[in-house]
């Protein structure tokens, strides 16, 4: 379909956009709708009855975003947001897009802290802030600290914290546990992390949106894929209280190796599936009676 800026209605432009994306993305209709809803500020149902002619500015932006999506740039980078549990996060280039699978990790942390009056939780490698902010919003009596080594990702997390106004969440920039106040040593109820867990060879086979667009520091750990997780496992021992829990996101192909590492350092080691039934959340308890 040719696009004539003088006569194309929103509905006609949408048809063009779907056609333009058809050979490049798995769900061209859905992706085009979301881009149009974002640019025009309308509901999905409005798109199919909108007979007005798009303004030049609207059309230029729509066409730009459709072309960017054709390169498989993440849709969330184009719309600027991603839902995660009960919150909406700002996201964009420089930060990992939160996945629905990671929502299960939040649920497991909530279960582990059940019955603790004011749980102390640290998230290592917060990215957009998804896990820490979801926990802060759902566990209002908890104290949540979150660290992030990437200044680009930290900028997104800071924006999200400012929007959500959660006084029980504190963000700190730095590598893993290094930014934490020393008086938290041996006192944490939970350490939680979604570390980069792809190996270099895994990344080479990953979808283009992950491989070419999302920050490598958030997706790839090194030759084995366990480099960052191994550091978290070892360093968390200094920070957890007796009986405290370490929870890590992983994937099925990594679980057997991760299980060995956890069993060498912790007790009560287990794996829990995500909503799709895939091994996703590795759990381990630091030895001791705890509470």
What's the gap between Cα 159 and its chain centre? 15
Span 127-152, average pLDDT: 98
Can you list the domains of the chain with their CATH numbers?
10-71 (1.10.8), 81-285 (3.40.50.150)
Residue 165 pLDDT: 97
CA atoms of 69 and 76, how far apart (whole Å): 10
Q: Which residue, 224, 241, 230, 290, is CA-closest to 264?
A: 230
CB burial class (10 A; 0-12, 13-18, 19+) of residue 251? middle
- Is 80 exceeded by the pLDDT of residue 280? yes
Residue spans of alpha helices (H) in the chain: 10-21, 28-40, 44-47, 56-70, 75-79, 103-112, 130-138, 151-164, 200-205, 208, 216-219, 227-236, 255-265
pTM given for the model: 0.91
Residue owning tokens 């999506």: 69
CA atoms of 124 and 175, how far apart (whole Å): 8
The region of weakest confidence among 49-53, 211-215, 223-227, 234-238 is: 49-53
Query: Sorting pLDDT into bands at 50, 70 and 90, what band is 290?
Result: low
Q: What is the pLDDT of residues 158-208, one digit of tens each?
A: 999 999 999 999 999 999 999 999 999 999 999 999 999 998 988 888 888
Span 12-23, average pLDDT: 94
CA atoms of 142 and 168, how far apart (whole Å): 7
Residue 4 pLDDT: 47
């Amino acid at each position: 379909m040719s696009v004539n800026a003088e006569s194309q209605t929103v509905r006609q432009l949408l048809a063009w956009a779907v056609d333009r994306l058809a050979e490049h993305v798995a769900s061209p209709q859905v992706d085009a709708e979301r881009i149009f809803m974002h640019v025009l500020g309308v509901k999905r149902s409005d798109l199919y009855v909108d007979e007005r002619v798009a303004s030049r500015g609207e059309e230029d932006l729509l066409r730009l975003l459709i072309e960017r999506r054709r390169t498989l740039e993440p849709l969330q980078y184009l719309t600027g947001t991603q839902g995660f549990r009960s919150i909406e996060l700002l996201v964009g280039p420089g930060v990992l897009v939160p996945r629905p699978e990671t929502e299960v990790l939040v649920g497991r942390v909530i279960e582990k802290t059940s019955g603790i009056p004011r749980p102390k939780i640290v998230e290592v490698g917060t990215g957009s802030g998804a896990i820490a902010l979801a926990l802060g919003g759902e566990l209002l009596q908890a104290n949540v600290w979150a660290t992030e080594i990437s200044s680009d990702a930290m900028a997104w997390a800071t924006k999200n914290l400012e929007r959500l106004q959660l006084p029980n969440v504190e963000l700190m920039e730095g590598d893993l546990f290094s930014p934490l106040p020393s008086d938290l040593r041996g006192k944490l109820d939970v350490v939680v992390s979604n570390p980069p867990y792809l190996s270099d060879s895994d990344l080479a086979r990953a979808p283009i949106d992950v491989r070419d667009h999302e920050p490598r520091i958030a997706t790839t750990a090194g030759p084995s894929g366990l480099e960052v997780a191994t550091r978290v496992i070892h360093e968390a021992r200094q920070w957890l209280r007796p009986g405290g829990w370490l929870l890590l996101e992983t994937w099925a192909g990594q679980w057997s190796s991760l299980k060995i590492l956890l069993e060498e350092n912790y007790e009560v080691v287990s794996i829990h599936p995500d909503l799709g039934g895939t091994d996703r959340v590795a759990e381990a308890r630091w030895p001791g009676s705890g509470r």
